[in-house]
Amino acid sequence: MHGDEGDGPVTRPHVVLLGHGAERTGPPILLAHLVRGLAAGGRYDLSVLTARSGPMLAEYEAAPARALAVSAAREPLGRTAAALRQVGAGSAVGPLQDARRRQVARRLAPADLVYVNGATPPTADLLRALDPPPTTPVVVHVHELDVGLRINLGDEQRRDLFDRADRIVAASGAVARLLVDGHGLAPERITTCAEFVDVAALQPLPPDEARAAAGIPAGAPVIGGVGLLDWRKDPDHLLRAVHALRRSDPDLDPWVLWVGGDPDSDDGRRTAAEARRLGLEDRFRHVGHQDHPDRLLGAMDVFALPSREDALPLAALEAAATGLPLVCFRAGGIADLCDLGAGTTVEYPDTAAFARALADLLADPEARARVGSAARALVRAEHDTGVGVARIAAVIDAGLEGGRR
């Protein structure tokens, strides 16, 4: 046990939390909620080590936790790696980057438990670099579904990660089912700890103030989404659904507000081109990344999650927490929430059904209020930080007490 407090040494366990990055996206934000919650309990010494730097490092430090990043770039030793690859010495890149990861990891005191936040290539690399002794328990928190686990993570990395994990935390029921049914993990190794958000911190603007901030007329009906613009989140699919809705229910005439990503990126231009192609350029507003996207939730009447797959996105939980009804594909954890009354789920990729679900909610203010109210209650009961941190702390405590499997 490591750490000092007051006049003499205390026996607070040192928990090292590994993250792929410190940008303001789902898993790093959830890690901040977790670190703050664990630190508030005062029972652990906390360190966070991320592969990439970013704005969330300051929030980890404020928790307080010691926070370190291996690299400010997308990969360690970015320029050196590029130069080596250019001269045909790409095989030297991996060992050099591993050495850099080990060099940074050595700055941390030995861990009593390692918490791997995310089954991703960078977190797998960090765990290998940290190389905790065989007696040190490891918890792996899986936020990923099929694309993340099967496509992004190599076979070897996935095997190493799951073999080394003593306990596995699944971010939603959908993740737990995939781990058991798709990857053959024993159910008893898995604890489902649903993702959570800081409900008290959410501050949506009043509707028309939020609409004005997004360039949308007061009183206009708005379908909104929050997230990156990548293929997995698939904002283009939302545009196609709204295009279908406008043909089937022209009187509804909704606006589409997407918050997140960079409008000037390739993905941003692609999405804008899709909106033009669909004749939606006058009804589509894309507001780039926001440190507080919850403020613009106030502009929305319905929250759409067009993701191909998504474990349990915080943006949708935040939307539900503010009383927005949800529409999603049956492609991840939000579908479970909708099945409990927080919204409507349709089969992926049934664009017409997605459009119908949006239209039904837009056309019926009472249904919106009823479903939104249920969504708010569900999130407050099951997905607020207090509940979420307690669930994970129980897994950590079990790991500390039980040691290795």
Question: Which residues lie near another protein (CB under 8 A)?
Answer: 82-83, 86, 146-147, 150-151, 231, 240, 243-244, 247, 270, 273-274, 277-278, 308-309, 331, 347-352
List all residues 6 or more positions away from 281 whose beta carbon is below 8 Å from its beta carbon. Answer: 272, 275
- Which of 350, 360 has the CB closer to another protein? 350
- CA angle 140–143–144, rounded 5-degree value: 110
- Which of 82, 99 has the CB closer to another protein? 82
List all residues 6 or more positions away from 7 whose beta carbon is below 8 Å from its beta carbon. Answer: none
- Which of 267, 301 has the CB closer to another protein? 267
Smallest gap from Cβ 123 to another protein, in A, equals 21
Crossing angle, helix 93-105 and helix 78-86, to 10 degrees? 170
Smallest gap from Cβ 253 to another protein, in A, equals 18
- Which of 283, 383 has the CB closer to another protein? 283
List all residues 6 or more positions away from 183 whose beta carbon is below 8 Å from its beta carbon. Answer: 149, 158, 162
- Which of 130, 145 has the CB closer to another protein? 145
Smallest gap from Cβ 353 to another protein, in A, equals 10
Crossing angle, helix 266-277 and helix 235-248, to 10 degrees? 10
Smallest gap from Cβ 85 to another protein, in A, equals 8
Smallest gap from Cβ 328 to another protein, in A, equals 14
Q: What is the residue type of 179?
A: L
**Within 10 Å of residue 131's Cβ, how many Cβ atoms?**
13
Smallest gap from Cβ 291 to another protein, in A, equals 27
- Which of 151, 394 has the CB closer to another protein? 151
CA distance 346 to 327: 8
Q: Of 212, 195, 198, 92, which Cα lies nearest the Cα of 145?
A: 195
